[in-house]
Chain A
Amino acid sequence: MANPGGGAVCNGNLHNHEKQSNGSQSGNCRRNGMTKEAQQNGKPHFYKPIVETFEEAPLYVMVFTYLGYALGTLFGHFRDFLRKWGIEKCNAAVEREEQKDFVPLYLDFENFFKRNIYMRIRDNWNRPICSAPGPRFDVMERVSDDYNWTFRFTGRIIKDVINMGSYNFLGSAGRYDESMRTVKDVLEAYGTGVASTRQEMGTLDKHKELEDLVAKFLNVEAAMVFGMGFATNSMNIPALVGKGCLILSDELNHTSLVLGARLSGATIRIFKHNNIENLEKLLREAVIYGQPRTHRAWKKILILVEGIYSMEGSIVHLPQIVALKNKYKAYLYIDEAHSIGAVGATGRGVVEFFGMDPRDVDVLMGTFTKSFGSSGGYIAGRKDLVDYLRVNSHSSVYATSMSPPISEQIIRSIKVLMGMDGTTQGLQRVQQLAKNTRYFRQRLREMGFIVYGNEESPVVPLLLYMPGKVAAFARHLLQRKIGVVVVGFPATPLAEARARFCVSAAHTREDLDTVLEALDELGDLLQLKYSRHRKSPRPELYNETSCELDD
C-alpha cells in the first residue's frame, strides 16, 4: 500500500495531484454517480457528504426500558426499607461513631441510583487488566460473594481477551518492543518525574522538542503541551474567556469542557447537538441583543465543540460551523480528543477530514491518550495564542509539567504517523483504521442493530436501551473473551444505554469477524436487533471493494 488512492506522500502530508481517475486535468469528475469538484493546487474545496444516523427505537422498546427502571426503583425502595429496619444486612460503609451527629455527608436520595441499580450490575465496570491495552489483553478474573458489594480476585487471568473497549485507534499502545527504544533511553536518562511547574524549573528540552513537533504535525504556528487531557480544557478555557464573554457549547460536550466553561465565569448557552440552525439562532441573538439586562455588547463569543463525540459517535459539522463563525466573528475551540489521529486522510483530525485549513479554527485542542498511546493534552493555534497561554494558563503556573518518557512516547508516535521514521507505517495504520471502521459499522447495520453516529467515526455506539440487557451483554461477551464497554445513565440519557466499541487499526479482520459473530448470536439471544432498516443478512453478498477509501 505504498501509493494509496493515487496520492503522493511527502513528509507525511498527502498531496493529491490527480484526483480524477479519467485523466482530465480540470472540471468535475464523475465516479460512482457522484459529482465532485476537482482540486486546485492541492487545496480541496468540496464538502464531504456527511452520513450519520440516529435511528429511533420502536415504541415498545422505550416502554419496556422505562418499565425496567420503574421496577428497579420499586425494588430499591423495598430493599432500602428492609435495610433501614435491619431485616437485611447493610454492606455499605458507614460513618464513624464519633461523627454520627454531624450533618450527613451524603443525602440518601442522591445515592439511590448508585445503591440500588448501579450496584447490581457494577461488575461490568472498573475491570482490572494486567497486560498492555493492545488489541488483545488479559483481564483479571474477579467474583463477588455478596452481590457486587465487594469483589475478590480468584487469581486466575482471562488471557487474550479481544479489546473493543480501550481507545487504541492507531494501535500505538502495546507491550514494549524495539521501536520504543528511545522511550527506554529517555527514561534512563531523565527519570520519571519533573517536580516543578513549566514557569519555574519544569520546562525540559524534551517539551520544546515535542511542542515544535506537534505544531509541525498539525500545520499550525505553535503548540503547547500539558500533563493531563482533562486539565487542558479545565485550565485553559478560563484563561481565554472570562466575565462578560459568551460561550456557546454543544449539548453533548465532555465534562472537561463544561467544567472549564463554568470555571471561566462566562455566560454559557447550550445549542442542540450539531444543530447548525440552533447555533445560528443563538449567535444572532447574542450579537443583536448583547448581554442580558444591560444590553452591552459581548466581549467575545467562543463556540465549544468536539471533533468526535465519544458517546454518540457523531462528527462535528465543521464546514458549516466555520462559515457561521466567520460571518458572526465568533471564535472556535475544537476538542479533538477522539478525532486526532483517528480521522482524516493522514490522521490529522477533523480539520483534514473536511479538507479545511487549520487556520480556520482558532483553538485546536486534543489529547495524546487515544491515538498516541501516551497521556497528556495540547493546545495549538497561532503563535500569539500559544504565547498568551504560556504566560496565563493555570497549568503552566501551578501544575507539574509532563513526564519525560511520556513526552518521548508522543514524539515517537508522531514521527511514525508523519512518516519521519522512514516507513509508511503511520499512513498504513490510519488507512487500516478507516477500513476496519467501515467494515465493522456496515456489518453491524446489516445485522440489524441500531448504531449511532457518522459512518467514518471509529467510535461505534450500539444501542441496548434496557438496563438488564446492558449487564447481560457485557457479561456474556466477557465469557466469550471479548471485552466491551457499556455505558448507561448518567453518561447517556436514561433510556439510551449503549455499548460503545472502539475500533483499532491493530484489530485484524479475524478479530473483527470473531466479535461480529459473537454479536450476531448475542443479538438474537437478547433480542437486540431493533433496527427497522434491515439489509441482507447474507454476508457472502457483501462487497469487498466498497470498503476502500473514497478519494
Chain B
Amino acid sequence: MRKEEKEELIEEWQPEPLVPPISKDHPALNYNIVSGPPSHNIVVNGKECINFASFNFLGLLDNPRLKAAALASLKKYGVGTCGPRGFYGTFDVHLDLEDRLAKFMKTEEAIIYSYGFATIASAIPAYSKRGDIVFVDKAACFAIQKGLQASRSDIKLFKHNDMADLERLLKEQEIEDQKNPRKARVTRRFIVAEGLYMNTGAICPLPELVKLKYKYKARIFLEESLSFGVLGEHGRGVTEHYGINIDDIDLISANMENSLASVGGFCCGRSFVIDHQRLSGQGYCFSASLPPLLAAAAIEALNIMEENPGIFAVLKEKCEQIHKALQGISGLKVVGKSFSPAFHLQLEKSTGSRERDVKLLQEIVSQCMNRSIALTQARYLEKEEKCLPPPSIRVVVTVEQTEEELEKAASTIKEVAQAILL
C-alpha cells in the first residue's frame, strides 16, 4: 500500500464507543441503597425491613464480640496492610487465622485470600494448566467459571448433580487415555463441585464423588462458600455432613463472607496441596493481604462457632420451617434442598421472555419490600454465564430470624405472589 492509502485508512477508521449506552431505567442500574448496617433489621431505600437477602447465616454481622475484636485489631494495626504477603504484609493475625482455620477444619494447612471471589478463581489455575482436564458441574458459580477460564484447561461439563453423566464423561476420557498413554500419564484430572450450590440450592453427592475419584484417579476441589458454617454437626461443611474423611478431598475452598461475617476467603487441605498456592496463587502473591481487623473478626467468629455448636441445628430447623411454609404458592416454586439456607423462588411457568420474567419477579420483590420483607432477585451476567440459570428470587435464612418473622415472610410472599401472578 502506498503511504497516502495508509493515511486514508487511519483517517477513516471509526472504533465502536468504549461502552454502549445504558438506558436510565435498566433494572441493575438502580441499586438498593442500605443505610446503616446490613444486619437483621435493615433499612433499604429508607424503609425498615427484615433482612432476607444478605448471606448472614449465623447472624454474626451485628455481633458485639466481633466488633470488639475488630476494634482491638484496629487500635493495634491500623486499617491497611500496605503490601502483599511476601513483602511485610504478613501479620501475626493472618498466621493465627490460618492456624485456627486449619485446626477447625481438621486439615494440615490453610491459606487466606483477601477477597472471596478471588479465592477459588486463583486456586484452580494454580494447579490446573493448559492440557489438564477439569470435570465441572453445569451449575457451578461464576467464580469457578472464571478460575477455569484463567487456567486454560479442557473443561468438561456434566449435568447438574448427575453422577451418571459424570461417570460417562470419565469413562470416555479413560478410552481416550488408552489411545495415548504417554499423554495420559502427564494429564492431571480434576473434579470441581460445590458443597451447596449457589445457583440451585442443591447439595453435591459427595460420597459418590469420592468413589469416582478413586476409580478414575481424579482430584476433587470442593467449593464450600455456602456450606461452611452451615452443614455438619460442628459447621465444618459438607464433609462432616456426610461423615467423609477430609483428607479424601484435595482442596476445600470457601469464602469468609457468609457465615464468618468478614471479608475474604480461604483454602484448606494438606500441606502438599496448599503450600503450592503460596507461590502460584495469583490473588495471594500479587495482591495486598487481608486487613487485620477483618482477620481478627473472622477469628472471633470462629470462636463463637466453636463455643456454641447448637446454632447449626437451630439454623437447620428454621430452614426447614420456611421451606415448608413456602410450598404450595401458586405460580412460584421453591428450588433448593430443605436444609439449604440460601434457596430460590422461581416462576412455575415462564412467560416466555426472560425480560418479562425478571420484571414480574421484581414486582413481587418491590411489593414484599413495601410490606417490610427485604428480598432480592438473584443477579447474573446474562451474556457471560455458561449455563444461565432462570430468573429467581433469592431467599436467605439466618439464625436471627424468629419463627414469627419466618411465618410473616412466607405469608407475605404468598399474598403478593397471588396478587401479581393471577
A158 within 8 A of B: no
List chain B residues, Cβ under 8 A from A287: 9-10, 13
B66 within 8 A of A: yes
Q: Which residues in window 163-207 of B have CB below 8 A to A?
A: 184-189
A385 within 8 A of B: yes
Which residue of chain B lies nearest to A176 when distances are taken between CB atoms in the complex?
Answer: B75
List chain A residues, Cβ under 8 A from B352: none
Between B1, B67, B217, the greatest number of chain A beta carbons within 10 A of the residue's beta carbon is seen for B67
Contact of B261 among A172, A191, A368, A483 (CB under 8 A): A191
A114 touches B80 (CB 8 A): no
Contact of A173 among B31, B66, B78, B214 (CB under 8 A): B78
CB within 8 Å for A195 and B257 given contacts A176-B76, A202-B54, A299-B16: yes
Number of interface residues of B (CB under 8 A): 118
> How far is it, in angstroms, between the C-alpha of A188 and the C-alpha of B42 when the chains are bound?
16
List chain A residues, Cβ under 8 A from B331: none
A544 within 8 A of B: no
> How far is it, in angstroms, between the C-alpha of A263 and the C-alpha of B122 when the chains are bound?
13
> How far is it, in angstroms, between the C-alpha of A284 and the C-alpha of B162 when the chains are bound?
52
Nearest CB of A to B75, in Å: 4
Interface string of B68-99 (1 = CB under 8 A from A): 00110011111111110111111110110000
CB within 8 Å for A240 and B19 given contacts A133-B88, A229-B287: yes
Interface string of A113-143 (1 = CB under 8 A from B): 0100010000001111111111001011000
Nearest CB of A to B68, in Å: 9
B347 within 8 A of A: no
Contact of A191 among B39, B87, B141 (CB under 8 A): B39
> How far is it, in angstroms, between the C-alpha of A409 and the C-alpha of B78 when the chains are bound?
9
A102 touches B85 (CB 8 A): no
Interface locus among A60-68, A314-322, A399-407: A399-407
Interface locus among A36-44, A252-260, A441-449: A252-260
Interface string of B37-63 (1 = CB under 8 A from A): 111001010000001011110001111
A200 touches B53 (CB 8 A): yes
A193 touches B261 (CB 8 A): yes
> How far is it, in angstroms, between the C-alpha of A263 and the C-alpha of B143 when the chains are bound?
12
List chain A residues, Cβ under 8 A from B42: 201
Q: Which residues in window 151-182 of A have CB below 8 A to B?
A: 163, 165-168, 172-176, 180
B78 touches A174 (CB 8 A): yes
Contact of B150 among A259, A297, A328, A397 (CB under 8 A): A259
B15 touches A330 (CB 8 A): yes
B92 touches A128 (CB 8 A): yes
B76 touches A133 (CB 8 A): no
List chain A residues, Cβ under 8 A from B127: 105
A384 touches B19 (CB 8 A): yes
List chain A residues, Cβ under 8 A from B146: 263, 394
A145 within 8 A of B: no
List chain B residues, Cβ under 8 A from A118: 279
CB within 8 Å for A106 and B276 given contacts A125-B87, A126-B90, A184-B71: yes
Q: Which residues in window 380-408 of B have CB below 8 A to A?
A: 380-381, 384, 394
List chain A residues, Cβ under 8 A from B353: none
A96 within 8 A of B: yes
B286 touches A256 (CB 8 A): yes
List chain B residues, Cβ under 8 A from A79: none
Nearest CB of A to B63, in Å: 8
Contact of A176 among B35, B74, B116, B219 (CB under 8 A): B74
A356 within 8 A of B: no
B141 touches A374 (CB 8 A): no
> How far is it, in angstroms, between the C-alpha of A238 and the C-alpha of B283 when the chains are bound?
17
B238 within 8 A of A: no
A228 within 8 A of B: yes
Contact of B92 among A130, A299, A395 (CB under 8 A): A130
A165 touches B83 (CB 8 A): yes
Contact of A409 among B38, B79, B142, B381 (CB under 8 A): B79
Q: Which residues in window 351-380 of A have CB below 8 A to B?
A: 362-363, 367-370, 372-375
Which residue of chain B lies nearest to A373 when distances are taken between CB atoms in the complex?
Answer: B80
B286 touches A255 (CB 8 A): yes
CB within 8 Å for A195 and B381 given contacts A103-B187, A128-B91, A409-B79: no
List chain B residues, Cβ under 8 A from A140: 92
B263 within 8 A of A: yes
A173 touches B150 (CB 8 A): no
Contact of B283 among A163, A189, A230, A397 (CB under 8 A): A230
CB within 8 Å for A103 and B185 given contacts A201-B376, A254-B286: yes
> How far is it, in angstroms, between the C-alpha of A196 and the C-alpha of B37 when the chains are bound?
12
A194 within 8 A of B: yes
Which residue of chain A lies nearest to B66 when distances are taken between CB atoms in the complex?
Answer: A192
B83 touches A301 (CB 8 A): no
Contact of B271 among A93, A128, A284 (CB under 8 A): A93
Which residue of chain A lies nearest to B121 when distances are taken between CB atoms in the complex?
Answer: A234
> How far is it, in angstroms, between the C-alpha of A247 and the C-alpha of B293 when the chains are bound?
38
A385 touches B261 (CB 8 A): no
Interface string of B281-317 (1 = CB under 8 A from A): 0110011101101100100000000000000000000
A201 touches B44 (CB 8 A): yes
B419 within 8 A of A: no
B83 touches A298 (CB 8 A): no
Which residue of chain B lies nearest to A386 when distances are taken between CB atoms in the complex?
Answer: B19
> How far is it, in angstroms, between the C-alpha of A328 and the C-alpha of B290 when the chains are bound?
41
Contact of A391 among B26, B263, B272 (CB under 8 A): B26
List chain B residues, Cβ under 8 A from A190: 36-38
A148 within 8 A of B: no
List chain B residues, Cβ under 8 A from A194: 38, 54, 257, 263
List chain A residues, Cβ under 8 A from B381: 392, 394, 397-398
Interface string of A95-110 (1 = CB under 8 A from B): 1101101111111000
B22 touches A388 (CB 8 A): yes
A83 within 8 A of B: no
Contact of B38 among A204, A301, A331 (CB under 8 A): A204
Contact of B67 among A173, A180, A191 (CB under 8 A): A191
List chain A residues, Cβ under 8 A from B89: 133, 166
B88 touches A96 (CB 8 A): no
Which residue of chain A lies nearest to B53 when distances are taken between CB atoms in the complex?
Answer: A201
B272 touches A132 (CB 8 A): no
CB within 8 Å for A397 and B189 given contacts A103-B217, A195-B38: no
List chain A residues, Cβ under 8 A from B422: none
> How far is it, in angstroms, between the C-alpha of A372 and the C-alpha of B184 when the chains are bound?
50
> How far is it, in angstroms, between the C-alpha of A394 and the C-alpha of B218 when the chains are bound?
30
List chain B residues, Cβ under 8 A from A137: 88
B82 touches A168 (CB 8 A): yes
B287 touches A201 (CB 8 A): no
Nearest CB of B to A413, in Å: 9
List chain A residues, Cβ under 8 A from B260: 193
Nearest CB of B to A251, in Å: 17
CB within 8 Å for A197 and B379 given contacts A96-B247, A188-B71: yes
B149 within 8 A of A: yes
Nearest CB of A to B181, in Å: 12
A195 touches B80 (CB 8 A): no
> How far is it, in angstroms, between the C-alpha of A139 and the C-alpha of B91 when the chains are bound?
9
> How far is it, in angstroms, between the C-alpha of A173 and the C-alpha of B51 when the chains are bound?
35
List chain B residues, Cβ under 8 A from A95: 272
Interface string of A503-544 (1 = CB under 8 A from B): 000000000000000000000000000000000000000000
Sorted from nearest, which 8 A-B pairs have the closest CB atoms?
Answer: A228-B115, A388-B19, A230-B287, A399-B117, A93-B272, A166-B82, A201-B53, A203-B31
**Contact sample, A vs B, 28 pairs, CB 8 Å cutoff:** A93-B270, A107-B186, A126-B278, A127-B90, A128-B90, A128-B92, A132-B77, A132-B78, A133-B83, A176-B74, A191-B39, A192-B263, A193-B294, A197-B379, A201-B34, A202-B38, A205-B35, A227-B263, A230-B287, A240-B18, A255-B282, A396-B28, A397-B381, A400-B117, A403-B291, A405-B293, A483-B88, A485-B87
Please give 16 more A-B residue pairs, beta carbons under 8 A apart, in addition to A400-B255, A403-B291: A129-B92, A166-B87, A167-B83, A173-B79, A193-B294, A194-B263, A199-B31, A231-B118, A284-B6, A288-B1, A328-B10, A374-B291, A375-B81, A391-B29, A409-B79, A485-B88
